[in-house]
Amino acid sequence: MNWRHGTVVEGGLEVMVRGEALLRDRVTVNGRPAERAGTAFWAPVVLREQETDVVAVAEGPTGRREHRVRVVWDRASRPRYRFSIDDNSFFLRDITRQGYASLFDCFYLRNLRDLHRRYGAKFVLNIYYTTGDGFELPQFPDRYRGEWADHADWLKLAFHAYQNVPDRPYQYAPAAKLAADFDLVAEQILRFAGEATYSPPTVIHWGMVPGEAWPVLVERGVRVLSAIPAFRGGAWDIQYFLDDARSDYLSRHDALKDFDSGLIFSNVDLICNNTPLDRIVPTLEPLRNDPNRAEIMDLFTHEQYFWPFYSHYLPDHFQRLEVALRWVTENGYEPVFFHEGLLGGAEG
């Protein structure tokens, strides 16, 4: 929760807790009596810590019921956005083969740098170990280390998967497989680009990792995972196997925390390769007016659509990014990296 969800008061954020209880029940919220009207109840609660347990208790002729929920208060929250690009491998193969004098002789990185210069945009590129056609990260030269470091304030590399195929590589894989692939890629990023460019990932290929394997990610510094919670075929998907209640919540909010693992799940707001140029602003605009979606813009796309040799090449892909970046910039959103602070914001 942030300033959009209540009233900022001395030392805290006052929010209204609402619920339903049986007509004859006496309801308290964090120990204080709640107002009632019919089956409804409501009571203000002031959040003073980063995490607060809200406990509603109903007591009456049929017994006692309790509903408990832990709330995260993003005290120092400001409107912000992050930009993540998945499925990266072709640009690394291109630079290796062409032997450019500069990383930015590769049109892909050059265009991203132009967007950085124009809008201050920051990018995390989630990369594969191999393109699957003979190119692997160990072939990538380390002579660009200085250039990577010079641009590490806006350009990061992170693990995404071993390779593009098969789909959903970690959905049913043992945790050890995820750990091994993660370490392979991380080791290479550190070798050829260096510490400053290295970032923990926030998107694992296909967004499906079972809870048993989450510790693999947490142990490696992952704090946030972006999901695209979609309900289809009678089940939630692309949400790291969160249960139904949490998938539904995340689909309507910016973020949700899993307190057992410490992971925060972010809800992707825009997938540029799926959104036609003239739909970018109409996709973002309604989010700005929804207090549950307005504060953090999780922007996202995939590398392959930038390349003319790709079967689904999008000639206007960079324009789509530009329209999205112009919109967030003009609407006061600041560029952040999710692995820094609380979803890229100050920890307050």
Tell me whether residue 80 or residue 205 sits nearer to Zn ion (CB atom): 205
Tell me how many residues contact Zn ion (CB under 5 A): 3
* Burial environment of residue 184 by CB neighbours within 10 A (0 to 12, 13 to 18, 19 or more): middle
Tell me: does residue 201 bind Zn ion (CB under 5 A). Answer: no
> HSE-up of 182 (CA within 13 Å, CB side)?
26
Q: How far is the CB of 203 from Zn ion (least distance, A)?
A: 7
Stretch 63-122 residues interacting with Zn ion (CB under 5 A): 86-87
Q: Residue 244 in 3-state DSSP? A: helix
Measured from each CB, the residue nearest to Zn ion is 205
Q: How far is the CB of 312 from Zn ion (least distance, A)?
A: 14
**Contacting residue, 205, 223, 293, 317, with Zn ion by CB under 5 A:** 205
Within 10 angstroms of residue 40's Cβ, the number of other Cβ atoms is: 13
Q: How far is the CB of 302 from Zn ion (least distance, A)?
A: 7
Stretch that binds Zn ion, among 19-27, 127-135, 201-209, 276-284 (CB under 5 A): 201-209
Q: What angle do CA 264, 249, 26 make, to 5 degrees?
A: 110
- Return the residue matching tokens 């692309």: 238
Confirm if 85 and 125 have CB atoms less than 8 A apart: yes
Tell me whether residue 207 or residue 335 sits nearer to Zn ion (CB atom): 207
Q: How far is the CB of 320 from Zn ion (least distance, A)?
A: 18
At a CB cut-off of 8 Å and minimum separation 6, what does 204 contact? 159, 160, 161, 170, 178, 217, 225, 240
Q: How far apart are CA 245 and CA 7, in angstroms?
A: 27
Q: How far is the CB of 42 from Zn ion (least distance, A)?
A: 43
Q: How far is the CB of 87 from Zn ion (least distance, A)?
A: 4
> HSE-up of 165 (CA within 13 Å, CB side)?
3
Sign of CA dihedral 155, 159, 160, 163: positive
Q: How far apart are CA 200 and CA 198, in angstroms?
A: 7
Tell me whether residue 87 or residue 269 sits nearer to Zn ion (CB atom): 87
Q: How far is the CB of 89 from Zn ion (least distance, A)?
A: 10
Tell me whether residue 229 or residue 345 sits nearer to Zn ion (CB atom): 229
- Return the residue matching tokens 């204080």: 32
Tell me whether residue 57 or residue 158 sits nearer to Zn ion (CB atom): 158
Query: What phi and psi values does residue 74 have, to the nearest 5 degrees?
Result: -90, 80
- The pair of three-digit structure tokens given for residue 342, joined into one six-digit string: 């609380």
Stretch that binds Zn ion, among 73-81, 184-192, 205-213, 272-280 (CB under 5 A): 205-213
Tell me whether residue 158 or residue 294 sits nearer to Zn ion (CB atom): 158
Q: How far is the CB of 132 from Zn ion (least distance, A)?
A: 14
Tell me whether residue 253 or residue 339 sits nearer to Zn ion (CB atom): 339
- The pair of three-digit structure tokens given for residue 5, joined into one six-digit string: 């969800």
Stretch that binds Zn ion, among 5-13, 202-210, 277-285, 320-328 (CB under 5 A): 202-210
Which residues are at the interface with Zn ion (CB under 5 A)? 86-87, 205
